[in-house]
């Protein structure tokens, strides 16, 4: 007997095979009967054959997964089992009228739902997550974003256990029921795709406020938390009001419902979700005060609250036709979020942050085994494509359009886009067409950004002719091959630049060259002296740019360029060069950095960013660009060597800066300025620790136990863990005792230890997995421990392969609970080709072991097969 099992080939779903839905659903009535052992969901769907569908006689096929079907009715008649076909993914009903009502009852088991998609128990509450394909786990439905419906939702539950019952839209009715139960009915007047559906039930605390829209409507704002955490909502509420005002002022977009709700939940796979009128947030992205959250967390609250709020227009009012178009809403919304955060704080710092994240996270993705265009052409598990490429590179593509058409032109284009598509689903073509039409320009070639993967490279050379005073730039563009795309067509992109004189003065102001061809020559006339080109100002396109700068030219740019981005980037280039070559830091560079540090007019946050070396990932990428392979441990050491040298040379200034800021900074302040000052202060201390560990460790130890500010505590805990075993052990124990029972704070404690740049880190992480602060069921705990470990060169990349085996093992175990989360930790293996031969072999071995498993989710299997492919 042949007992080998064959694994069915996994299906690639393709954009080119898009077909309009066969049936539309105009209205949806849902009834949730929440009981201790199950939740019964009853639906009434008003269905109608779609006139746009070519499949005139096709049956009604509803998606459905992981629930128990109880009954199906068509126009009031209950169907017998033979009247429909039920599989583990679909419910097919052949005998349906062209227009009618389908009613379905099914049972959900939220307590058993560890995948956190659909209806699930999040600690003491029930909540939902439907993007991308979670609604099908709640009830049988055509679960696709081009089916948009009006919803009326009734929820019934025990009043004591679930006093708060929420869904999208407006509360239209509520009251008591027999047996200590109660109910609420919600109606959403806007048509929406089912992925924007949301429901929350539980015992929740609430903070409320009001917002007056510019047309004079009053909106009720509510933030709900688990009991005891409402004092941590201040930043989020302030951010929400700022976001609402900003979207009116900058883009003319007003809020449209009477109520806007945010719920913070403690089990969530992503950062947050833009469900219409009822945003659901990972509590780590919305709750905290200066004594419970770090400045980085707090900065994120404003960003994420803004992001989800902005989706109300870019995502909810105008949504995506299909899941290939995620960047239509995400790229645009990230762009809007970046503009908002810049306007609320410092636009220059926001740009530096954005680009460094892009380079650190998106560039490697775009060079790896799962590189994809911002609009992928195919996928197996759509959740694998909520990526840095779709989000961050997508936002850069939107930004390039703004650079090409100007801010006013962009606003006109966006208005036209919303006007044309309000209440409907759209495609990336629709967006670009609105921009082109509003500005009467041709963006045909520009569409290649949506179809071609890989980070383009610009090779630039120049010559200056003193006699004719002409400056010539030759620009060549190329784009490396990516999986499935061997050759690329040239991109249309803006190259912003300036020309500096020998003292760094701008000779010509800002110019924007429009690149379209593989090789182009630009002649700039009337240039008085041989210039230093300041190329790719403001990072005007998501590319790598090569130009053969001398160190002296970079120093001029660093000191004087009027473009803040290029000043910072010149420093980054010099840092990378000295770190990778092992050359000593030249005095001129140290002097330039000293000038930055002591500059009275420069914001502290900008100083901190200028003094921060490119990260280990970026240095690794610089090696790849030179055709070398990465030894991550060696890269970490090279980086440390530069920090040590710099700290030695600037010791006096670093101590002076540290002391001055420490003396004047209010521990409770967490506005943008205070955050910048704190980041500079803690950078000074961390740098000094490399050069003078004996002097810094006691200072750090005092801060960990004495400070009330969480940013300071964690920065100093990091320092201790990095250097002084005895002090670290004591500080960690004290921290754990103080914050036991506060899981989001204990996540930081886990993370600090998983980040330890030391060979023994795996053993520690193994032990921590058994600690009561850890749980494989909670994505935040897993991110704090396993996620941080996966970015640790001494952990994940340990030379003996132990880190790879450990992470692969976690992926296997986690996959049984939460496939989306598991796939996230399989992704670091996608880059195996970037590392030295020994590590390549060990990473492939771990991948093969995973690939050989019989039962893997499609999420993990897609990553593993593409990694090996």
Residues that bind ligand 0A1 (CB under 6 A): 129, 131-132, 269-274, 307-308, 330, 383, 386
To ligand 0A1, the closest distance from the beta carbon of 320 in angstroms equals 10
For the chain, what is the total number of helices (H) and then of strands (E)?
A: 28, 31
Classify each residue of 223-238 as buried b or exposed e, where b means 16 or more C-beta atoms within 10 Å of its C-beta.
bbbbeebbebbbbbbe
Residue number with CB closer to Zn ion (325 or 677): 325
Using CB under 5 A, which of the segments 52-60, 297-305, 323-331, 800-808 binds Zn ion? 323-331
Determine the residue with CB nearest ligand 0A1. 270
To ligand 0A1, the closest distance from the beta carbon of 608 in angstroms equals 27
Using CB under 5 A, which of the segments 51-59, 333-341, 431-439, 858-866 binds Zn ion? 333-341
The residues annotated with a catalytic role in the active site are 308
Using CB under 5 A, which of the segments 327-335, 720-728, 755-763, 847-855 binds Zn ion? 327-335
To ligand 0A1, the closest distance from the beta carbon of 273 in angstroms equals 5
Binding partner of residue 272 among ligand 0A1, Zn ion, none, CB cut-off 5 to 8 Å per kind: ligand 0A1
Binding partner of residue 778 among ligand 0A1, Zn ion, none, CB cut-off 5 to 8 Å per kind: none
For residues 577 and 613, give the distance between their C-alpha atoms in angstroms, rounded to a whole number: 11
Cross-strand partners of 319: 425
For residues 585 and 642, give the distance between their C-alpha atoms in angstroms, rounded to a whole number: 7
Binding partner of residue 131 among Zn ion, ligand 0A1, none, CB cut-off 5 to 8 Å per kind: ligand 0A1
Binding partner of residue 132 among ligand 0A1, Zn ion, none, CB cut-off 5 to 8 Å per kind: ligand 0A1
CB 137 within 8 A of CB 108: yes
Using CB under 5 A, which of the segments 175-183, 332-340, 690-698, 799-807 binds Zn ion? 332-340
To Zn ion, the closest distance from the beta carbon of 257 in angstroms equals 19
Please give the sequence-ordered ranges of beta strands (E in DSSP) within 674-812, or none if there are none. Answer: none
Residue number with CB closer to ligand 0A1 (312 or 657): 312
Binding partner of residue 655 among ligand 0A1, Zn ion, none, CB cut-off 5 to 8 Å per kind: none
For residues 64 and 91, give the distance between their C-alpha atoms in angstroms, rounded to a whole number: 7
Residue number with CB closer to Zn ion (253 or 831): 253
To ligand 0A1, the closest distance from the beta carbon of 329 in angstroms equals 8
Binding partner of residue 680 among Zn ion, ligand 0A1, none, CB cut-off 5 to 8 Å per kind: none
For residues 833 and 839, give the distance between their C-alpha atoms in angstroms, rounded to a whole number: 9
For residues 547 and 495, give the distance between their C-alpha atoms in angstroms, rounded to a whole number: 13
To ligand 0A1, the closest distance from the beta carbon of 429 in angstroms equals 21
CB 832 within 8 A of CB 839: yes
CB 136 within 8 A of CB 128: no
For residues 91 and 89, give the distance between their C-alpha atoms in angstroms, rounded to a whole number: 7
For residues 409 and 393, give the distance between their C-alpha atoms in angstroms, rounded to a whole number: 21
Residue number with CB closer to ligand 0A1 (394 or 413): 394
Residue number with CB closer to ligand 0A1 (261 or 416): 261
Residue in the block written with tokens 């201040």: 234
Sequence length of the chain is 869
Residue number with CB closer to Zn ion (310 or 735): 310
Residue number with CB closer to Zn ion (272 or 661): 272
- How many CB atoms are closer than 10 A to CB 215? 7
83: Cα within 13 Å, side-chain hemisphere: 10
Residue number with CB closer to ligand 0A1 (195 or 796): 195
To ligand 0A1, the closest distance from the beta carbon of 330 in angstroms equals 5
- Angular region, 179: left φ>0, alpha ψ -120 to 50, beta rest: left
Binding track over 274-313 against Zn ion, x by CB under 5 A? ----------------------------------------
| Residues 6+ away with beta carbon under 8 Å from 786 | 754, 765, 807, 810, 825
For residues 369 and 831, give the distance between their C-alpha atoms in angstroms, rounded to a whole number: 7
DSSP 8-class letter at 273: E
Contacts with Zn ion by CB under 5 A: the residue count is 2
How would you classify the pairing of strands 68-74 and 181-193? Answer: unpaired
To Zn ion, the closest distance from the beta carbon of 308 in angstroms equals 7
CB 748 within 8 A of CB 292: no
Residue 311, H or E segment = none
CB 258 within 8 A of CB 170: yes
Residue in the block written with tokens 């001029």: 556
To ligand 0A1, the closest distance from the beta carbon of 114 in angstroms equals 15
Residue number with CB closer to ligand 0A1 (330 or 569): 330
Binding partner of residue 616 among Zn ion, ligand 0A1, none, CB cut-off 5 to 8 Å per kind: none
Binding partner of residue 386 among ligand 0A1, Zn ion, none, CB cut-off 5 to 8 Å per kind: ligand 0A1
Binding partner of residue 273 among Zn ion, ligand 0A1, none, CB cut-off 5 to 8 Å per kind: ligand 0A1
How would you classify the pairing of strands 259-265 and 278-282? Answer: parallel
Residues forming the site for Zn ion (CB under 5 A): 330, 333
């Amino acid at each position: 007997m042949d007992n080998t099992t064959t694994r069915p080939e996994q299906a690639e779903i393709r954009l080119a095979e898009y077909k309009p839905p066969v049936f539309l659903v105009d209205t949806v009535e849902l009834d949730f009967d929440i009981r201790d052992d199950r939740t019964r969901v009853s639906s009434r769907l008003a269905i109608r054959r779609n006139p746009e569908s070519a499949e005139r006689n096709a049956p009604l096929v509803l998606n459905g997964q992981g629930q128990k079907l109880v009954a199906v009715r068509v126009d009031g008649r209950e169907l017998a089992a033979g009247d429909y076909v039920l599989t583990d993914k679909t419910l097919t009903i052949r005998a349906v009228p062209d227009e009618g009502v389908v009613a379905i009852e099914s049972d959900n088991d939220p307590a058993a739902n560890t995948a956190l998609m659909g209806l699930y128990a999040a600690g003491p509450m029930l909540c939902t997550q439907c993007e991308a394909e979670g609604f099908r786990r709640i009830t049988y439905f055509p679960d696709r974003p081009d089916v948009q419906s009006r919803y009326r939702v009734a929820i019934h539950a025990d009043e004591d256990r679930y006093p708060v019952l929420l869904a999208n839209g407006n509360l239209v009715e509520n009251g008591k029921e027999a047996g200590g139960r109660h109910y609420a009915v919600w109606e959403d007047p806007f048509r929406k795709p089912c992925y924007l559906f949301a429901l929350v039930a539980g015992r929740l605390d609430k903070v409320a406020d009001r917002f007056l829209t510019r047309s004079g409507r009053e909106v009720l704002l509510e933030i709900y938390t688990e009991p005891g955490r409402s004092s941590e909502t201040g930043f989020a509420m302030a951010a929400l009001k700022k976001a609402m005002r900003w979207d009116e002022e900058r883009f003319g977009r007003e809020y449209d419902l009477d109520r806007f709700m945010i719920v913070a939940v403690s089990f969530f796979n992503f950062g947050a979700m833009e469900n219409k009128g009822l945003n659901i947030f990972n509590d780590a992205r919305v709750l905290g005060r200066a004594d419970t959250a770090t400045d980085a967390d707090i900065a994120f609250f404003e960003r994420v609250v803004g992001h989800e709020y902005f989706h109300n227009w870019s995502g909810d009012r105008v949504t995506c036709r299909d899941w290939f178009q995620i960047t239509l809403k995400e790229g645009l919304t990230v762009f809007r979020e970046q503009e908002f955060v810049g306007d609320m704080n410092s636009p220059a710092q926001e740009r530096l942050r954005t680009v460094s994240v892009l380079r650190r996270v998106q560039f490697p993705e775009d060079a790896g085994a799962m590189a994809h265009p911002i609009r992928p052409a195919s996928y197996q598990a759509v959740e694998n494509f909520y990526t840095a490429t779709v989000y961050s590179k997508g936002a850069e593509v939107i930004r390039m359009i703004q650079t090409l058409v100007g801010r006013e032109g962009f606003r006109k284009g966006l208005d036209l886009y919303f006007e044309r598509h309000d209440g409907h689903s759209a495609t990336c073509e629709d967006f670009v067409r609105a921009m082109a039409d509003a500005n009467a320009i041709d963006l045909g070639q520009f569409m290649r950004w949506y179809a071609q993967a890989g980070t383009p490279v610009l090779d630039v050379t120049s010559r200056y002719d003193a006699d004719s005073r002409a400056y010539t730039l030759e620009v060549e563009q190329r784009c490396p091959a990516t999986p499935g795309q061997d050759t690329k067509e040239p991109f249309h992109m803006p190259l912003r630049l300036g020309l500096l004189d020998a003292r760094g003065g701008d000779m010509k102001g800002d110019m924007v060259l429009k690149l379209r061809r593989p090789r182009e020559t630009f002649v700039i006339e009337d240039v008085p002296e041989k210039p230093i080109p300041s190329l790719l100002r403001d990072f005007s396109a998501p590319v790598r740019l090569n130009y053969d700068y001398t160190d002296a030219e970079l120093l001029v740019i660093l000191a004087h360029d009027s473009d803040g981005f290029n000043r910072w980037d010149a420093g980054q280039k010099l840092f990378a060069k000295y770190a990778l070559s092992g050359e000593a830091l030249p005095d001129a560079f140290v002097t330039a950095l000293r000038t930055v540090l002591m500059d009275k007019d420069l914001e502290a946050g900008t100083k901190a960013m200028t003094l921060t070396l490119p990260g280990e990932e970026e240095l690794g990428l610089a090696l790849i660009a030179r055709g070398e392979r990465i030894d991550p441990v060696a890269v970490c050491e090279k980086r440390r060597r530069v920090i040590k040298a710099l700290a030695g040379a600037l010791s006096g200034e670093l101590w002076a800066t540290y002391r001055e800021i420490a003396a004047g900074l209010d521990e409770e302040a967490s506005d943008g300025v205070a955050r910048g000052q704190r980041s500079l202060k803690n950078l000074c201390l961390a740098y000094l620790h490399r050069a003078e560990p004996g002097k810094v460790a006691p200072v750090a130890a005092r801060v960990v136990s004495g400070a009330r500010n969480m940013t300071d505590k964690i920065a100093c805990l990091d320092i201790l863990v990095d250097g002084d075993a005895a002090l670290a052990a004591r500080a960690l124990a004290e921290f754990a005792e103080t914050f036991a029972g506060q899981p989001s704070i204990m996540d930081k404690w886990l993370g600090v230890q998983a980040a330890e740049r030391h060979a023994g880190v795996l053993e520690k992480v193994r032990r921590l997995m058994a600690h009561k602060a850890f749980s494989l069921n909670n994505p935040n705990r897993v991110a704090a421990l396993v996620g941080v470990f996966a970015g640790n060169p001494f952990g994940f990349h340990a030379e003996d392969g132990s880190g790879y085996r450990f992470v692969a093992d976690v992926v296997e175990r986690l996959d049984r609970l939460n496939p989306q989360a598991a796939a996230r930790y399989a992704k670091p293996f996608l880059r195996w080709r970037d590392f030295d031969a020994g590590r390549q072999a060990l990473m492939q071995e771990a991948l093969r072991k995973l690939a050989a498993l019989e039962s893997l989710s499609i999420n993990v299997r897609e990553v593993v097969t593409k990694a090996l492919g």
